[in-house]
Amino acid sequence: MSSHVIRAQHTASETASHPDLEGAVGTVRPTGSTEAEKTYRQQSAPGLSAVPVAFPVSGGPQCFARARDFTRETLRRWSLDHCCDDTVTVVTELTANAVTHALPYAPVGTDGIWLGLAVGPGHVLCAVADPVDRPPVVRHSGDDVLEEHGRGLHLIDALSRRWGWTRNSPTGKTVWALLPAPRRG
């Protein structure tokens, strides 16, 4: 699996390949799932302290609220309530980007959008898989600062240790963000 790291606060050797990405990003799109709501993966990925979970994002009017609820409930189960605000913000932005920039262009018969969460020592991995190959595009500082849209990837960049995207096979991509998640106590 080849990940494209957009930003990293670590050394090059740490960002070239992250073991949690190799193990968990691939679990974002469960195969054979017919549940309309929460879909939990029953396999663990190397280096993760909890089973990665995935959730289908419909793109309908309630999809962002459902993605936020799924994220809060998952973090609560993992005893990471204190990480909810930043993680929910990142999940909302990743999901909004997929719904806005991928769903309208999705080929007929593709899997749609999936939100995945995984936790490892000191971090939470958020990943959103969509069926479109186009990579995420970061707006640059010369763009209109009064524009209502276009700040999501900057928020993700500010809140995460690192983020990037991975091409899926045969089509699509997964945009991921690694957030700090220190244990309490």
Q: What is the pLDDT of residue 141?
A: 61
Residue 108: is its pLDDT beyond 90?
no
Q: What is the mean pLDDT of residues 150-176?
A: 89
Measure the CA–CA gap between 88 and 142, rounded to whole angstroms. 28
Q: What percent of the chain has pLDDT over 90?
A: 41
Residue 148: is its pLDDT beyond 50?
yes
| Residues whose CB is less than 8 angstroms from the CB of residue 108 and which lie 6 or more positions away in sequence, other chains included | none
Query: If one looks up domain 3-28+47-180 in CATH, what number appears?
Result: 3.30.565.10
Q: How confident is the model at residue 174 (pLDDT cuts 50, 70, 90)?
A: very high
More confidently predicted of 114 and 150: 114
Measure the CA–CA gap between 92 and 86, rounded to whole angstroms. 10
Q: What is the mean pLDDT of residues 16-36?
A: 42
Residue 7: is its pLDDT beyond 70?
no
